[in-house]
Amino acid sequence: MSAVPTHQELVDLDIDARLLEVWCDIWADVQSGKLPEALLPLVAKHIRAAYGRGYCACIDEDEWTHGSLLHAHGYSVPRRRSSIP
């Protein structure tokens, strides 16, 4: 990363912070030799894309599909906030 991070680098850092536990598991796999360190950039790209896609999918749900994935797997569906602070 350069002295002044790019927009994409800031997005990557924000997502990585939210995925800390996942990154710890991946790093353990690198340390044990299960995952070559050279593949980390590719793995990172796909994990960030999956996180971003899931985030967008949640935002895109309308009132009829809200929580459908949770419901399909037997989890309770949290209520939406009535307004955004």
Per-residue pLDDT tens for 10-42? Answer: 888 888 888 888 999 999 999 999 999 999 999
What is the phi-psi region of residue 68: left when phi exceeds 0, alpha when psi lies from -120 to 50, beta otherwise? Answer: alpha
Question: Quick one: what percent of the chain has pLDDT higher than 90?
Answer: 32
Which tokens in the block code for residue 19? Answer: 């995925």
Q: How far apart are CA 7 and CA 60, in angstroms?
A: 23
> What's the confidence (pLDDT) of residue 1?
59
pTM above 0.75, yes or no: no
